[in-house]
Amino acid sequence: MDHILGMFSQIGYETTRAKMKPHKFEHIGLRVKDAERSIKFYSEVIGMEVRERQLFFRGAQLIFLTLGGQEIELIAGGNNNDFPGRSPIDHYAFTVRDLDAAKVRVKELWPEAEFTEDLQLWDSMRCSFVNGPDGEKLEFFERRE
């Protein structure tokens, strides 16, 4: 009996662990000065398609372009203080199945991690950011279905 309970415990543990790990590279966020110019470049020159365009807060626009299952997010306008940092690449994003569990796992493996408050994006998406070891900004992105 203990052997069977141990197997179920291990299965449950592995299932929970799988929910905490990123399972897909989500997107790269790129700060741009001129949304229309950048959309034209990425769609006409690179061949990407605009998947979604949303107004964010304080006048910022988020434009998602896709190519071959990969995405970039153009971030235009808004207050520069909303998107701190000097690099035109704002962040790297990873899809997680459970944002709360992912944050717990990261903090267990890297105790100095400090996540931002969760940000609710539309109805079925939320995210949180943390700086990597060299100050790079990483987004953990949960898309609920």
CA distance 95 to 97: 7
3-state secondary structure 23-84: CEEEEEEEEECCHHHHHHHHHHHCCCEEEEEEECCCCCEEEEEEECCEEEEEEECCCHHHCC
What is the mean predicted confidence (pLDDT) over 45-74?
A: 87
Q: What is the percent of the chain with per-residue pLDDT over 70, rounded to a whole number?
A: 78
What is the mean predicted confidence (pLDDT) over 30-51?
A: 85
Tens digits of per-residue pLDDT, 69-89?
889 898 888 765 555 555 677
What does the pLDDT read at residue 136?
A: 75
Asked if the model's pLDDT at residue 5 lies above 50, the reply is no
Domains and CATH numbers, the chain: 2-143 (3.10.180.10)
CB 93 within 8 A of CB 127: yes
Length of the chain equals 145
CB 108 within 8 A of CB 50: no
Indicate the pTM of the whole model: 0.56
